Chains A and B, each alone.
Chain A
Amino acid sequence: MRSEGRRRTFVSLALVSPLALFLLVFFAAPLYTMMAAAVSDPIAARALPQTAEAIRSWDGETAPSAGVQAAFAGDIRNIDDDQLFGDLVRRLNSAKSGFRTLMSKTRSALRDDPSTTDLVAIDARWADPAFWQAIRSAAASTVTDRNLLAAVDLERSPAGRIQAMPEGTSANGTTLVRTFVVSLIVTAVCLVIGLPYAMIAASVTGWRRQLLLAAVLLPLWTSLLVRTAAWFILLQDNGLINSALMALGLTSAPLPLIFNRVGVVIAMSHVLLPFMVLPIFSVLIGIPKNLMPAAASLGAHPLRAFREVLLPLSTRGVVSGSLLVFMSALGYYITPALIGGAQDQMISSVIAYYATGAANWGMAGALGLVLLVATIILYTVYLRLSTDERVRQ
């Protein structure tokens, strides 16, 4: 009679399959495409098939043999798609500068004389092994770790060793560090406000609790754009906050609150505060009301009772809330984009820049992968915590 169970499983599978399929195609596949873009490097291998074959036996020290040069010349002659040629030049130039002029010169020379294969005669730079090393590494494989390494400010030396990029060539590492720092500050601010807030909300009853909860939920339900616009209005140089400060005589000139780190932290903390308060609150209201009186009856001073009883019991809520806030802050785009200055852009802004501004899908994908992995790790920890909780209850 196992068939009954199997029939139920089949029905359940049939019910979940439309959504599963939808998410596979429109959620998992885009993420996969993004990750593939991060490591994909097919241009050189596609444009230079004969060269890739011939250069394999090259020793890498001296100028390559005539055979390799002939293969390369043949490949270049075979490229009639200008777009492909442009991509190839860009790809090679990103590995070693100088390719741009070298390639266009070589291509026109090879076109003018359909029989020549002597590249060094066209340009003396073809005698330099460095150019050939770049071609070999580009053509050798259709995948690359270049973007992933660049995402954390690393590169490969010509010999293939991973090394730090020269100072000042990439700002990705700085952006990553900044993203983590801003997220940590926002998490700390949310914790400092959110923990006492949740405790107060859990300790009162009636309309007071309703008010405190409504004050958390109303912003949560309000459009993120509206909240960001509101902060934009409040924080600007002649905005309400600066007007008030100046009217009170606390400052003579407007404080710089917008387009800098302060504004980003204030606005993001406001937006993410509910995610800190709600998990802590839900843990706190699960704690029996009579524990604090019990601690008092056993001789604990209220502050002592708080430290020894309430605080340890609320740890799980604090950890869940902090993870939630930190995880959300890492991927934030809109608030820093609108409230922050050029020096406050977080990793999401850089990804968006690479994708929409520079059309550098490789870098966008690589940074996206870093952000995705960080988020998934944090989410897994969060899930583990909340399932533990369910098991314990």
Chain B
Amino acid sequence: MKALQLSKVVFGAAAVFFLLAPLAAILPLAFTDSVFLNYPMPGYSTRWFSELVSAEVWRRSIVNSLIIGSGTTLLATALGTLGALGLRGRTSSYLFAFVRTAFLIPMVVPAVVLGVGMQLMFARYNLTNTYLGVIIAHTVIAVPFVVINVLAVLQSIDPRLEQAAASLGAAPHTVLARVTLPLALPGIVSGAVFAFATSLDEVVLTLFVAGPNQRTLARQMFSSIRENISPAIAAAAFVFIVGTILIALALNLSRKSLGRRPAA
């Protein structure tokens, strides 16, 4: 029994190390003052963060990521929330089961396959090399996350709350605005965050449909790793990881405060 316990601890620790060590390893390199992305670091500096903001390619890519991420978040959240509202309470219908599967399938289709098709088709409608094209491409793979999140929260709402609102004199659109949507807000917010994160991290579709003017941060990191790796990557990774943690915290906070918002 002792040996089993010990091997559990050793294995667990080793696996946690395997999972987290790479992330821990890259963070300090953001503060190196060397041009090499490696240890040991000769000294500390914030030059690579300055590079991130001052170098045209990096600065541009950060701005592009924000533009495209916001566009994707808006489009995916709007479409996904509507879709989830339509799918709600439709578990027994074959038609809607099919629609539901269809809404989630962009998540599983390999990005390269979708990218080839999008490049071919978007070229016909002059959508390649445009912001709109990239936003649309990102929305396709971000929207399943919105549907999943919003649907989950909608299914947790007691339908009697909406019946109660109706019995108290609220017309269907009032029920939606005053009861359903406020209660679904946490799911809509986390869906939106997922959509933004998906867009931020997307590389493959961007490779196929974006032009040089729509180069995103992730796309810039991709070519930088491929062509001339520099500690600017680590600085960008630092921004990403800190951003992830901040978003996770914000999400947690918003969930809590939405749960017990003081009376307005």
- Interface positions of A (Cβ within 8 A of B): 9, 11-20, 22-23, 26-27, 29-35, 37, 193, 196-197, 200, 203, 208, 211-212, 215-216, 218-219, 221-234, 236, 238-240, 243, 270, 273, 302, 327, 330-331, 333-334, 337-338, 348, 351-352, 355-356, 361, 364-365, 368, 371-372, 375-376, 379, 383
Contact = CB atoms under 8 A, between A and B. Distances in A.
B232 to A, nearest CB: 11
Contacts of A355: 115-116, 119, 208
Interface in B1-47: 1, 4, 8, 11-12, 15-16, 18-23, 25-26, 29, 37-39
Given A338-B225, A383-B101, A211 B16 contact: yes
Interface SS, A side: helix
B137 A223 contact: no
A19 B108 contact: no
A35 B121 CA distance: 12
B109 A31 contact: yes
20 contacts: A11-B86, A22-B139, A26-B139, A31-B117, A32-B117, A34-B117, A197-B15, A219-B23, A223-B240, A226-B26, A227-B23, A229-B237, A230-B22, A230-B25, A270-B18, A273-B19, A331-B110, A348-B110, A352-B115, A376-B108
Given A15-B86, A226-B23, A233-B25, 17 more contacts: A19-B80, A20-B99, A27-B106, A30-B121, A35-B117, A200-B11, A200-B12, A219-B23, A226-B241, A227-B22, A229-B26, A233-B234, A331-B113, A348-B111, A352-B116, A352-B207, A355-B208
Interface string B83-127: 101111010010010010111011011111111111111100000
Contact of B204 (A19, A211, A240, A334): A334
Contact of A229 (B20, B87, B221): B221
Contacts of B117: 29-35, 368
A240 B207 CA distance: 30
Given A23-B143, A226-B237, A355-B208, A33 B19 contact: no
Contacts of B90: 12
A15 B83 contact: yes
Interface SS, B side: helix
Contacts of A203: 8
Interface in B167-194: none
A14 B208 contact: no
Contacts, number: 232
B136 interface: yes
A26 B25 CA distance: 39
A29 B18 contact: no
A190 B121 CA distance: 37
B140 interface: yes
Given A18-B82, A372-B113, A29 B121 contact: yes
B153 interface: no
Contacts of B218: 223, 225
Nearest to A365: B116
Contacts of B1: 302
B229 interface: yes
A351 B86 contact: no
Nearest to A16: B86
B225 A215 contact: no
B108 A379 contact: yes
B200 interface: yes
B201 interface: yes
Contacts of A35: 117
A393 to B, nearest CB: 14
A13 B93 CA distance: 12
A14 B86 contact: yes
Nearest to B101: A383
Contact of B20 (A193, A218, A365): A218
B200 A223 contact: yes
B244 A331 contact: no
A298 to B, nearest CB: 18
B104 to A, nearest CB: 9
Q: Which one of B19, B38, B80 has the highest number of Cβ atoms from chain A below 10 Å of its Cβ? A: B19
Contact of A221 (B85, B226, B248): B248
A34 B147 CA distance: 26
A351 B116 contact: yes
Nearest to B78: A18
B101 A223 contact: no
A348 B201 contact: no
Contacts of A372: 109-110, 113
Interface in B220-237: 221-222, 225-226, 229, 233-234, 236-237
Nearest to A266: B18
A9 B116 CA distance: 36
Nearest to A228: B225
Contacts of A337: 226
B96 A197 contact: no
A334 B225 CA distance: 11
Contacts of B21: 234
Contacts of A270: 18-19, 22
B114 A31 contact: yes
Given A14-B86, A230-B25, A23 B102 contact: yes
